[in-house]
Amino acid sequence: MIQGPRGFVPSGLSRTQHSMFARARSSISGNPAPDCYSGYVTATQHTRSKPPLREGFLRSYIRWLLIGALLLWSLAVVLFVAARWINPPTTAVHIQRRVQAWIHRTPYQERYKFIPLSQISPDLQHAVIAAEDARFYQHHGFDWHALQLAAEEDMEGGRIRGGSTLTQQLVKNLFFGTGRSFLRKGAEVTLVPVAEFVLGKQRILELYLNVIEWGPGIYGAESACHYYDRTSARNIGREQSARLAAILPAPRKRRPERMNSYSAVILRRMRQVNW
């Protein structure tokens, strides 16, 4: 027998037996005995199970970031569904140009009038397709062959147009503006198939021809035809259409009257497919 803080206890006991003996004595005497070992184990488990503060904050930040991205993507899908019947009053590019003019305190006049596809000359429709997306009616949003050709032209220093399809350009104009980033490209890649499925080719073409930038403050075929050729999109001629289509890759820098070479290329492409 040895004497402990609460009386004599048998010697030669293990810690577990010592704890059980102490509990038995406390039940007889009515005084609770402290259980040092169980408290130590509980505290140790609590310490090990509690994640570091920085790790918990990072996980929470990533979770909310993903939730926010999913909500924005869902909103874009809803807007695509609405755009099947409702003509967009503005786009991300329109807003971007307005903000840029306000920041730089430069005059800005927006010309934007949405008209049905039936009121746009077939020559202008065909010229834009021949210039920007020759396989528009064959692909499902991405033209991998055109991307390869654009990359090869880039390496040779003779690139005159990009590899983006009309659908890709429409998504960019509606939601992202003209900025470039991997994040924007990633979002664009996920939305292009949605646009193809929800809108269909004719509505995509109609939206594109009406919202695309055709010069400083000039948006859509009707505004471009009136500004450059003093005529309507319904009455624009074949050669004029090719010149208008030729400025689309850089509409704020190019002028239709200077696009002799590229407009001839566009006219040749149109003849090759009997347009």
Alpha-carbon distance of 107 to 36, in angstroms, equals: 79
Quick one: pLDDT at residue 43? 46
Q: What is the pTM of this model?
A: 0.74
Rounded to an integer, what distance in angstroms lies between the CA atom of residue 244 and that of residue 250? 11
Residue 224 to residue 156: CA distance in whole angstroms: 32
The 3-state DSSP class for residue 88 equals coil
Q: What are the structural domain ranges in the chain?
A: 2-50, 73-272
Residues 108-136: b if buried by 16+ CB within 10 A, e if exposed: eeebbebbebeebbebbbbbbbbbbbbeb
- Residue ranges of E strands in the chain: 2-4, 7-9, 111-112, 213-215, 218-219
DSSP letter at 174 equals I
Given a cut of 50, the residues of the chain with pLDDT beneath it are 1-9, 13, 21, 33-47, 159
pLDDT per residue as tens digits for the range 13-40: 455 555 554 555 555 555 554 444 444 4
- Cβ atoms 224, 115 nearer than 8 A: no
- Write down the CATH number for the domain with range 73-272: 1.10.3810.10
Place of tokens 């786009």: 91
Q: Over the range 204-214, which residues count as b (16 or more CB within 10 Å of their CB) and which as e?
A: bbbbbbbbbbb
Distances in Å between the Cα of 248 and the Cα atoms of 6, 44, 84, 151, 191 are: 93, 67, 24, 19, 22
pLDDT of residue 143: 84
Is residue 33 exposed (0-12), middle (13-18) or buried (19+ Cβ within 10 Å)? middle
Q: Taking a C-beta distance cutoff of 8 angstroms, is the pair 39, 55 a contact?
A: no
How many whole angstroms separate alpha carbon 129 and alpha carbon 204? 12
Nearest-angstrom CA–CA distance, 235 and 210: 16
**Residue 209 contacts residue 124 (beta carbons within 8 Å):** yes
C-alpha of 117 from chain center: 27
Interval 63-91: pLDDT, tens: 887 887 788 888 888 988 999 999 999 99
| The pLDDT value given to residue 2 | 44
The pLDDT of residue 40: 43
